[in-house]
Each structure stands twice: as C-alpha cells, then as structure tokens.
Amino acid sequence: MKYDIIVLGSGPGGYVTAIRASQLGFKTAIVEKESLGGICLNWGCIPTKALLKSAQVFDYLKHASDYGLTVKEFDKDFGAVIARSRGVADGMSKGIQFLMKKNKIDVIEGTGKVKPGKKMDVTDKDGKVTEYSADHIIIATGARSRELPNLPQDGKKVIGYRQAMVLPEQPKSMIVVGSGAIGVEFAHFYNSMGTQVTIVEFMPNIVPVEDEDISKQFERSLKKAGINIMTNSSVEKVDTSGNGVKATVKTVKGEEILEADILLSAVGIKSNIENIGLEEVGIATDRDKVLVNPYYQTNIPGYYAIGDIVPGQALAHVASAEGILCVEKIAGLHVEPLDYGNIPGCTYATPEIASVGLTEKQAKEKGYELKIGKFPFTASGKAKAAGTPDGFVKVIFDAKYGEWLGCHMIGAGVTDMIAEAVVARKLETTGHEIIKSVHPHPTMSEAIMEATAAAYDEVIHI
C-alpha cells in the first residue's frame, strides 16, 4: 500500500507527527510493534506520574496532623498503587487509538524496517512480512534503558525503569544508580512507600544537568526525606547470587559494599537505531544518533528522523515539537528550526524541579555579566498555606540588555510554572517587563516576579 507519509513508532514523537500530517492532508500510516503511545505513555512519563501522585497522597496522610486533621488508620496497598498506574496508562493508550481513528490514520501493527526506495517492511506477530511505500518515511523509534557492561539487567534483581513500574511486591531496600530524572523520581516514589533507598551518582552533584543551587537544595530535601545519597561514586560490579544484590561502590574514600533487595539502573537511555534498516538504506548515524538537518531530513531524500534517536534533548515534548516541525516543512509551510536552548526540563519528584535556559555556571562561562535573583518559597504565602515551603525560584538575566538567560525552580508545582519563562524567553521579554507584569496573589507563580525583582534590587517580600 502507498502512503504520503509513514511514521515508524507511535510515541509522543510518532503519534503527534502522524496527527499533524493527517491535519495537513497527507494520507498517513503509523507503524507500532507494541502499544500506541510508546514508552512515554505506557512505561514512562504518564504511569510514573500516577505512581508519584499515590506517593504524594500517602505523604499527605502521614502528615495530616500538620493540617489540623486526624487520620487514625491508613495504609498503602502496593499492588493497588501499581494497578492504578497501569490503568492510567492503558486509558491513555486507548485515547491514542481514538485519535488515530478520528484523524483517519492507518495503524499498522508490527515491527518496521526501512528499505531503499522509500519502502518499509512490517513483520506482524505471526511473522508475516508486508511491504509498504510512501513519499516520506519518518523514523521515531525512541529509546530504551541503557545497560552498562558492569550492570547487566536481569529484570528481577537488577532492573530498568520498566520493571520498576510493575514490581510484584515492594522491596524493603533499593539501590538507584544514576540521579537523573528517572532515577530520582523512582527513588522518591519508593522512599515514600517505605523502601530504604540509596542513590549512587557518578557526578559531584545529583541531578547534574541542573543549576548547582538547585542540585544542592534537592539533595538536602531528599536527605531530609530519608534517602541516602552517594555522589562522586560508581557501581563497579554487582553480585546477585544471594537473596538480594550486593553492589561494590567505588567512592573517594575507597570501595564500599551496599546490600539491597533490588538495584535500579537509571544511567540513561540507548537509542533504538538497531535492526531498523538504517544501514541498508545508507542513513548516516554518529554516536548512537541519526544525523539530520534542522528540519529532520536525513542524508537520504525521503527519510526523516525525530525524537530520542536524533541529537538534542531526549524529552517527550521535544519529540512532539520536532515531528510537527518536520511534517509542516514537508507540507511547504514556513517553519523555523527548533530552539534547543529554550527547551524546558522537568523532574517530578518532591520537591519538583523545572528549568530552562542557561545555568549560572554556563552563563558565566559564556562571558555574560549577570543579574541573579532568588525568591524562597518560605516567603510565599501560597506555599506556606499549602504546607510546601521548600524550594525557591532563581532567575538569571544579562545585566547589559536585560535578556532572560535562565530560570531554575525547585518546589511544589514548579513544573506547571516553567512555561511562563519559556514563553517570555521566546518573546525576548526583559526582566523589567516581568516585574511590571502583574502576577496574581497568592500564587506560587508570583515567585517568578519576586525573583526577577530581586535581581534588580526591587524585591518586596524578602
């Protein structure tokens, strides 16, 4: 069968791409070997947020007296928490099925492999191979949990994020290797449920991509919650021969043996670029990534790639934006290349982290003269009333022209607040314009205005 566009992969890059292609009038098909919605919807972004919500509610119950409430008896049902998460994911996947039908997109179930001549073979679950062709083939195969040679995953004692979401029973203890978003979100969830958690991080700071002030505050918050944190440390080997896991950890003070029921490897992701026909077609790759131009065209005409398999931030919202831009360019619309310097990053532990733009260190390295403002949530009426005073907003401006260089937040609900900074930076808004934009009171978001005022020595409430 011939299509205008075939999309390989139905994650937040692929399915969004297919919908936008259909809206633009293209006859579109999408190929998926597992579940519509990909890793993000089925095994990543969405079900983890359901788990974290259960953890938040459980924490509220544990601290009910802080709010003047008495809850005499409560407990958790770990199996029910996992089941709720899976139910949320399944419901969202069914929603994608509805969107495919609504937009008249053909869903082809099976494993796709691109071929020369703008063709694709799809092998179904019975092994039957069907050939399809299209004017444009967009590859959006995403990524999976990265395995290190000294941390082979057996799916039982040494696990990746997929197994961490569906463990049959709650472990009493867990080692989390890696403190990126995946690692710290699971660390927070299991700690909240009552598991003894230790985080092992190779870098000097946890969440190492964040501004250093954010990392330090976050480490304090996690330690306060009872999580053990080992930075400047690496797991050299694991022994799974006993009942649990014994991990040999190299630290600045020497080697240390950690014992736990489970070890979660959260050391990053690996692009899914193997066995999908790239070599046969001649599509260029480098360092685990497909090489593309600013509009996601590969070196072979008619073939495109988006999402985790191309250079850039491996985030769901990035993949969606790339896919939309890609098909709009194919349709002949006027589009501008994506600004990878203005991509928000979010971590959904407690407290949440959200950031966009340059860190203080990066801005200094680029030679900017800076105006920096911070506003603590301890001074926020809304945060104090909500019982969530931990954290702050930090803003970074160019002293010369007032350009908003970076925004870094840690606290309750900040992942919903960061969009203000993203839009403002897109519109080239200055610090003074933020100060003069009236923010509602009492809200968490007014901390952005207050932090900006602090940068210009006009802050009122600290």
| CATH number of residue 244's parent domain | 3.50.50.60
How many domains are there within the chain? 3
- The per-residue pLDDT for 45 is 87
* pLDDT on residue 390: 95
239 in any annotated domain: yes
Tokens representing 40 are 């993000």
Give the residue numbers of the binding site for NAD(+).
Answer: 178-185, 201, 268
The pTM is what? 0.94
- Which of 202, 232, 267 is the C-terminal boundary of a domain? 267
Question: For 60, what's the count of Cα atoms within 13 Å in the CB-facing half-sphere?
Answer: 9
Torsion of CA 253, 190, 52, 215, to 10 degrees: -10
Q: Which amino acid is at 323?
A: G
- How far is Cα 425 from Cα 408, in angstroms, rounded to an integer? 13
Same domain for 364 and 216? no
Question: Are 263 and 314 contained in the same domain?
Answer: no
Q: What pLDDT shows up at residue 103? A: 97
| 370 and 336 housed in the same domain | no
Is the Cβ–Cβ distance between 121 and 129 less than 8 Å?
A: yes
Evaluate whether 358 touches 396 at the Cβ level (below 8 Å). Answer: yes
Looking at the structure, do residues 284 and 139 belong to the same domain, yes or no?
yes
Q: What pLDDT does 40 receive?
A: 83
Tokens representing 316? 């769901």
Structure tokens given for 1: 């069968």
Residues making up the annotated binding site for FAD are 49, 112, 308
**DSSP code for 309:** G
Last residue of a domain, one of 317, 340, 363: 340
- Does residue 152 belong to any structural domain of this protein? no
Residue 191 is part of which domain span? 158-267
- Between strands 245-251 and 370-376, the pairing is unpaired
Distance, in Å, from the CA atom of 245 to the CA atom of 257, rounded to the nearest integer, reads 10
Residue 51 included in any domain: yes
Same domain for 222 and 112: no
What confidence tens digit (pLDDT) does each residue in 312-348 have? Answer: 999 999 999 999 999 999 999 999 999 999 999 999 9
Residue 24 and residue 327 in contact, taking contact as beta carbons nearer than 8 Å:
yes
What does the alpha-carbon distance between residue 297 and residue 293 come to, in Å, rounded to a whole number? Answer: 5
Indicate if 29 and 118 belong to the same structural domain. yes
The span from the CA of 114 to the CA of 213, in Å, is 46
435 falls within a domain: yes
Whole-number CA gyration radius for the chain: 24
Binding residues: 49, 112, 178-185, 201, 268, 308
Q: With DSSP H G I counted as helix, E B as strand and the rest as coil, what are the percentages for the chain, rounded to 5?
A: 35, 25, 40
Question: Can you give the CATH number for the domain in which 375 is found?
Answer: 3.30.390.30
Q: Which pLDDT does position 370 carry in this prediction? A: 97
What pLDDT is stored for residue 41 in this prediction?
A: 86
Residues 426 and 369 in one domain: yes
d(CA 317, CA 298) in angstroms, rounded, equals: 21
226 in a structural domain: yes
What is the distance, to the nearest Å, from the Cα of residue 179 to the centroid of all Cα atoms in its chain?
Answer: 13
Q: E strands, 240-358, where?
A: 245-251, 254-260, 262-265, 269-271, 285-286, 289-290, 303-305, 345-347, 352-357
Whether residues 15 and 120 share a domain: the answer is yes
Q: With 0-12 CB in 10 A as exposed, 13-18 as middle and 19+ as buried, what is 128?
A: exposed
Same domain, 66 and 207: no
pLDDT tens digits for the chain (462 residues)?
Answer: 899 999 999 999 999 999 999 999 999 999 999 989 888 888 888 999 999 999 999 999 999 999 999 999 999 999 999 999 999 999 999 999 999 999 999 999 999 999 999 999 999 999 999 999 999 999 999 999 899 998 999 999 999 999 999 999 999 999 999 999 999 999 999 999 999 999 999 999 999 999 999 999 999 999 999 999 999 999 999 999 989 999 999 999 999 999 999 999 999 899 999 999 999 999 999 999 999 999 999 999 999 999 999 999 999 999 999 999 999 999 999 999 999 999 999 999 999 999 999 999 999 999 999 999 999 999 999 999 999 999 999 999 999 999 999 999 999 999 999 999 999 999 999 999 999 999 999 999 999 999 999 999 999 999
H-state helical runs in 208-264: 212-224
Q: Examine residue 460 and state whether it is found in any structural domain, yes or no.
A: no
The answer on 96 and 16 residing in a single domain is: yes
Please tell me the distance from the alpha carbon of residue 134 to that of residue 114, in angstroms, as a whole number: 11
Does 175 map to a domain?
yes
**Eight-state DSSP code of residue 334:** -
Q: Which positions are annotated as active-site residues?
A: 441
Q: Which of 232, 267, 302 is the last residue of a domain?
A: 267
461 falls within a domain: no
Q: Are residues 114 and 11 in the same domain?
A: yes
Those residues with Cβ within 8 angstroms of residue 113's Cβ, 6 or more apart along the chain or in another chain: 120, 121, 122, 123, 275, 276, 277
pLDDT of residue 44: 86
Q: Are residues 363 and 448 in the same domain?
A: yes
